Amino acid sequence: MTTAAATPLATRLADSGPSRADPAPFVRLDARGRARLELSVKGAKCAACIAKIERGLLAVPGVEDARLNLGAQRLTVTWRGAAASAASLIDVVERLGFAATPFDPEKSQRAIDAEGRRLLWQMVVAGFGAMNVMMFSVPIWAGGELGAGTRTGFYWISALIAIPCALYAGQPFFASAWRALRKGRANMDVPISIGVLLTLAVSISETALGGAHAYFDGVVMLLFLLLIGRWLDHSLRERARTAAKDLLALQSTNATRLRSDGATERVAARDVAVGDVLLLAAGERVAVDGVVLEGASEVDRALVTGESAPVAARVGDTLHAGVVNLTRPLRLRATAMADTSLIADLARLIEAGEQRRGAHVRLADKAAALYVPIVHTLAFLTFAAWMLVPDASWRVALMNAAAVLIVTCPCALGLAAPAVQVVATGRLFKRGVLVKSGDALERLARIDTVVLDKTGTLTLGRPRLVGAVDEAALAAAAQLARVSRHPLSRALVEAAGPGAPAAQAREIPGCGVEGEIAGAPARLGRRTFVDPQSAETEGGETELWFARAGAAPVRFVFADAVRPDAAATVAALRARGLAVELLSGDRPDAVEAAARAVGIDIAAAARTPAQKIEHLEALRAQGRRVLMVGDGLNDAAALAAADASASPAAAVDATQAAADVVLQGEELGALVELIDVARSARARVLENFAFAAVYNAVAVPAAALGFVTPFFAALAMAGSSLAVTLNALRLSGRGHRGKV
């Protein structure tokens, strides 16, 4: 099997020619000897597409895994043996009706951006056509003194506007439908395309024959509405893709490598090899996983544990990519490359979670799976039946078949869920809840377990001074703390209030601050720094010690305060039948204390990002549907892996990007409103689908029997869309019963 060459991926793609790159050079071998290929897939739009592609590839002998990330449009396939090859796997994907090429991140991003621009232009053109055609349609609808010749003239002008607009704006649907039909399959775009083209044909025929009804306005308006949905869906997917991208941005792009001759060189992180010796300055982020060879410092390990309190780093300790060195220079030996370090692993976990979540079959997708074959069958049977009726012409048969297609047009079906989502997300926005994912409310409505992170979620996420303190000692210690950027020093200053810094103060990395207060030497920091004869305090409390000449040392203890409404929120969630658990990377004693404070019985501590995902998978194996709420970088992968997820507004960008929902403010009570609205929204969607079913049960037979002309079919279609929209608006009138 050929491995990847050293030539840049984009260059190899460009050199392979305009048709299709030879995929063999893009195959990589993993540590277990399996071949791995990443492909960019075009045309996949829904959960059914994911299932179709993955099942098709898993049926190939030797293929062990096939995963399609719908948001990134990236397919990863792993296999063993010679039974499968890169070219044969691409052929399988293309036989299923999808385009596949070797994955190049830059090229893929350009293609996604170009698709978004095309959808936007097609939507603009459809809207332009709809508005202009309406100028000639309204006088026809009004009737009055309008003669037959004038009406026909208006229809021809409408045709000149509508036909080019429809043919351009309908390209996403036409192309998708053609790909499916060419492979002997059907999708939701097939009836849309047939309906659009057939309605245009009927309208042109009626206009040429001087008929009373043409439907150019309906065609461009239908495409405009459908393209709005397509563009919004594309935007949501693009937003979801940023989670892994934002996380990878946190990985240092460069590192300082020590050469064998003792000189240093600045190299890209991707060029660091296992065994290289790296120099890490104070304030610098670790580029790849490594072991400390020389030096001692304090580091910020929030990426791994979620805790902002610095920890000591000494010789022999492992530092993961993304960890920030705070105080002293260190020398590391690289133990992994950039694409196998912790941050890269977290990005893969996020993408895997997004893919699993993307496999969720939305209610609209389920309805569409029934809609496509039923509509095709009914329209064909209507045409065939009328052709068998004596004295009935092909024109009558075609008009009645068109009426069936129009009256069952997917506008109402397409609006049933989005209309509810728009109203529900608007209501939640007023409550300070930002819903990012289009199908998040559906998943939230079905959750039965809420898993909360501790630091920054259940708590405020920043240390605060607790317990009784000597005000004079606090004021004096704050003078030293004002020259330090250490998190505990900042908390001490916040408690003391404004004031002047100590004279001749200097910070000693890894120890604390020393200086003069009222002419006497003083120290603030670790206990052994303040009192060299003492030992470090046991018990895990976060503390600072302060001492000045002639006085006994004073201890300041810090804790992360629980959010004011956390206990009430937990109780409200339980009252709604939800199980609540605490899952944290913090110390067991801190986690247990927080759990007791808010009334949570099940708590897990000291969990790494991978262990958090394992915990969620264990809950899922029990049949649970989980809402994960977290704010740290170490929570991002778990947020993506959960059935639904939420993040406070104070969370880092990568974590917010991985979450379905962002909570504004410092209150957790919005979670309760979120659950209530999601459940109500699901009920409204089901009501809309039930209405659509009843509507079609009445309208379709009437259209098939010839009692409904295409004109009245269009009116009925518009009426059904209005009905589901009005039903959705009921959601905005419900009281805010989620407040706690």
- Taking alpha carbons only, the member of 505, 515, 526 closest to residue 548 is 515
For residue 244, the model assigns a pLDDT of 44
**In this structure, what are the phi and psi dihedrals at residue 33, rounded to the nearest 5 degrees?**
80, 10
Work out the pLDDT band at 582, boundaries 50, 70, 90: very high
pLDDT value at 122 more than 70: yes
Query: Quick one: which H or E segment has residue 268?
Result: strand 264-268
| Residue for token pair 């694409």 | 339
Catalytic-residue membership of 30:
no
Which ranges in 513-627 belong to alpha helices (H)?
527-530, 566-575, 588-598, 609-621
pLDDT value at 600 more than 50: yes
Average pLDDT value for residue range 122-146: 80
Six-digit token string for 122: 């097609």
Q: Between 296 and 461, where is the model more confident?
A: 296
pLDDT value at 574 more than 80: yes
| DSSP characters over 582-598 | EE-SS-HHHHHHHHHHH
| Residue for token pair 């000291």 | 606
pLDDT value at 462 more than 50: yes
Neighbours of 537 (CB within 10 A): 14
pLDDT value at 243 more than 50: no
Work out the pLDDT band at 647, boundaries 50, 70, 90: confident
- The C-alpha atoms of residue 297 and residue 193 are separated, in whole angstroms, by 65
Q: What does DSSP assign to residue 285?
A: B
Average pLDDT value for residue range 375-401: 79
Task: Decide: 662 and 646 in contact? Cβ < 8 Å.
Answer: yes
How far is residue 449 CA from its own chain's centroid?
20
3-state secondary structure of 60: coil
- Taking alpha carbons only, the member of 610, 671, 679, 680 closest to residue 646 is 671
Could you give the percent of the chain with pLDDT greater than 90?
Answer: 14
CATH class of 254-339: mainly beta
The string of pLDDT tens digits covering residues 327-358 is 788 999 988 776 656 555 555 545 544 444 44
For residue 672, the model assigns a pLDDT of 92
- Taking alpha carbons only, the member of 64, 94, 99, 101 closest to residue 79 is 64
- The domain locations on the chain are 9-103, 106-242, 254-339, 428-459+562-675, 461-561
For residue 141, the model assigns a pLDDT of 67
Instruction: Check residue 143 and give left, alpha or beta (phi > 0: left; psi -120 to 50: alpha).
Output: left
Work out the pLDDT band at 473, boundaries 50, 70, 90: very high
pLDDT value at 595 more than 80: yes
> Over the chain, what is the mean pLDDT?
77
For residue 331, the model assigns a pLDDT of 92
Work out the pLDDT band at 698, boundaries 50, 70, 90: confident
Residue tagged active-site, from 289, 439, 453, 586: 453
For the ranges 125-134, 135-144, 195-204, 291-300, which has the lowest average pLDDT? 135-144
Q: What is the CATH topology of the domain spanning 9-103? A: Alpha-Beta Plaits (3.30.70)
pLDDT value at 34 more than 70: yes
The string of pLDDT tens digits covering residues 170-224 is 998 888 888 878 777 766 677 778 778 887 888 888 888 887 777 787 788 778 8
For residue 12, the model assigns a pLDDT of 31
Q: What is the CATH topology of the domain spanning 461-561? A: Calcium-transporting ATPase, cytoplasmic domain N (3.40.1110)
Average pLDDT value for residue range 131-140: 81
Please tell us whether the domain made up of 428-459+562-675 is placed in CATH 3.40.50.1000: yes
Name 331's bridge partners. Answer: 279, 294
For the ranges 166-180, 196-210, 433-447, 451-465, which has the lowest average pLDDT? 433-447
- Taking alpha carbons only, the member of 340, 312, 350, 318 closest to residue 609 is 350
This prediction has a pTM of 0.59
pLDDT value at 274 more than 80: yes
Q: Which of 32-36, 567-571, 639-643, 670-674 is predicted most confidently?
A: 567-571
The string of pLDDT tens digits covering residues 55-101 is 889 889 889 888 776 656 778 888 888 778 888 888 888 888 888 88
Q: What does DSSP assign to residue 3?
A: P
CA distances in angstroms from 90 to 42, 57, 84, 368, 589, listed in the order given? 12, 9, 10, 28, 53
Work out the pLDDT band at 44, boundaries 50, 70, 90: confident
For the ranges 349-363, 517-531, 568-582, which has the lowest average pLDDT? 349-363
The string of pLDDT tens digits covering residues 474-489 is 999 999 999 887 778 8
Work out the pLDDT band at 437, boundaries 50, 70, 90: low
Average pLDDT value for residue range 439-461: 87
Q: Between 370 and 595, where is the model more confident?
A: 595
For the ranges 13-22, 159-168, 205-214, 388-397, which has the lowest average pLDDT? 13-22
